[in-house]
Amino acid sequence: MYPDVVLALHITAGVLALTLGPLALLAARRRGPVNAFATAYHWAVLAVCASAAALVAAAPARLWWLLPIAVGSYALALLGFRAARRPGSRARRLHIHGQGGSYIALVTALLVVSVGSAAAWIAPTLIGAPLISWAIRREETRRLAKLDGPRTSQARRESDARLDQFRGSGPDAGQAAQIRDAQVRKYTVAATEAP
């Protein structure tokens, strides 16, 4: 009876976490306090981890592999949850990495149990890791665009081209140094004022 109850709790928590994961990732795009989806996702992944540990205790020879995935998944979910509560771009990257990585671990465990092939161990990471990298790059691009202010991409390219014209030696080297120093001051001030 004990393993059946724990298995039912594990499945319920797993379905809840797999449902809340995408909602938490999409809602994470909003600034401000940690949203309800991310909080619920964190607790659901904790329940999955705790119930997995209980299942492994009941049948360690058969389910040993479940514990490292569950602990890794919760560690990443906790990283994402804690990072979401901190300001700054590094925290945003850690949040995306933690939430995405924990979701990959949950999907891996689901596929290993359901499909049982070697591809089930590899496919979620091969699909999810590039998506996480893309989301982190997109977040970094957005952050840098805010530092640049309202300039358009065309204006940025023109400004960078003018700066490139002045680099090097010759009569314009002093003017190039002044432009470079002004750009450094501008980005330094913007970086200290950024959220």
> Are 47 and 138 part of one and the same domain?
yes
Q: How far apart are alpha carbons 120 and 106 in whole angstroms?
A: 11
Are residue 186 and residue 110 in the same domain, yes or no?
no
How many domains is the chain built from?
A: 2
Shared domain check, 102 and 186: no
Judgement on whether residues 55 and 137 belong to the same structural domain of the protein: yes
Q: What's the mean pLDDT when you consider all of the chain?
A: 79
Query: Which pLDDT value is given to residue 170?
Result: 46
Indicate whether 100 and 167 sit together in one domain. no
54 and 137, same domain (yes or no):
yes
34-43: pLDDT as tens digits: 678 888 999 9
pLDDT exceeds 90 at position 15: yes
Q: Does the predicted model carry a pTM greater than 0.85?
A: no
pLDDT in tens, 47-104: 999 999 999 998 888 888 888 888 999 999 999 888 887 877 788 888 888 999 999 9
Between CA 73 and CA 24 the distance in angstroms is: 15
Q: Which domain holds residue 121?
A: 2-148
| Residue 101: per-residue pLDDT | 92
pLDDT of 48 = 93
Within this chain, do residues 85 and 175 fall inside the same structural domain, yes or no?
A: no
